[in-house]
Structure 1
């Protein structure tokens, strides 16, 4: 697989992680923009190459999203302890919120990867053009009057 195919998905993942970090971390722990960019540049390559390229193709979208939660939480928590240990803030709570919102975006990102990078497209032809079958058979015609008259004769 050509490495150029990974540039666009990697940048999308970097944008998602950075946007969520910019939203949560300044409020929760007082992070600066430089802190957020450094954290995003550390978390994104690990999450992309380990979570999205190694784990997701092997175990599927749902399990990969759960494993991505654990991996992202661990990375953000360790980096939070390194960057924000001197501040009086709840690093654990900030990490949980950030990881939660990143994990919400993972199934959409995995669907994008399956479609664009792994070329796993659904067969939409079956939903657009239904495959109807026609059955050709002859039906037996039962004459009820003859059947009833024979039944009546037996009962007499």
Structure 2
């Protein structure tokens, strides 16, 4: 359930951000923006948030998500639209996505990843360590002579 909630948050934020940049700024149709947001959301959530973020840190995962967002937006935008270069809109969109991902990765790490890690609850209990002591700390030479 936590993954679904995190994915919905990511999808809605990407859709809103990409609609503002691509839809209003570059006059892209809403269905194209929706499709790009859906593909980007699924791929970026799996790759960036579930694979890269737990193994690295927020900075590396954000850079990876920004690069992935640029490639997906550029490729899908150039295939779905007619004419015009998608380099600048994809770059601006990727920067916007990266700014969002900085905060989203903190949310995912604390609310999804940290809670789903399986940790063994090993109770240390009330450990009382005690050293052994005896009277025979050093061998008694007198006793050795008697035994011979």
TM-score (norm 1): 0.70
Report the counterpart of residue 30 of structure 1 in structure 2. Answer: 27
User: Among 2, 7, 12, which residue is 1:10 paired with?
Assistant: 7
Structure 2: runs of 5 or more not aligned: 116-148
Report the counterpart of residue 95 of structure 1 in structure 2. Answer: 90
Structure with the bigger percentage of helix:
1
Report the counterpart of residue 140 of structure 1 in structure 2. Answer: none
Report the counterpart of residue 128 of structure 2 in structure 1. Answer: none
Report the counterpart of residue 114 of structure 1 in structure 2. Answer: 109
Secondary structure, aligned partner of 2:28: coil
Over the aligned positions, Cα root-mean-square deviation in angstroms equals 1.3
Structure 2 distance, partners of 1:65, 1:98, is 14
Structure 1: runs of 5 or more not aligned: 121-156
Written as runs of structure 1 = structure 2, the 5 A alignment for 1:126-145 is none
Report the counterpart of residue 67 of structure 2 in structure 1. Answer: 70
Q: CA deviation at 1:29?
A: 3.2
Structure 2 distance, partners of 1:28, 1:96, is 13
Structure 2 distance, partners of 1:103, 1:40, is 14
TM-score (norm 2): 0.73
Q: How many residues were matched structurally?
A: 115
User: Among 89, 99, 105, which residue is 1:104 paired with?
Assistant: 99
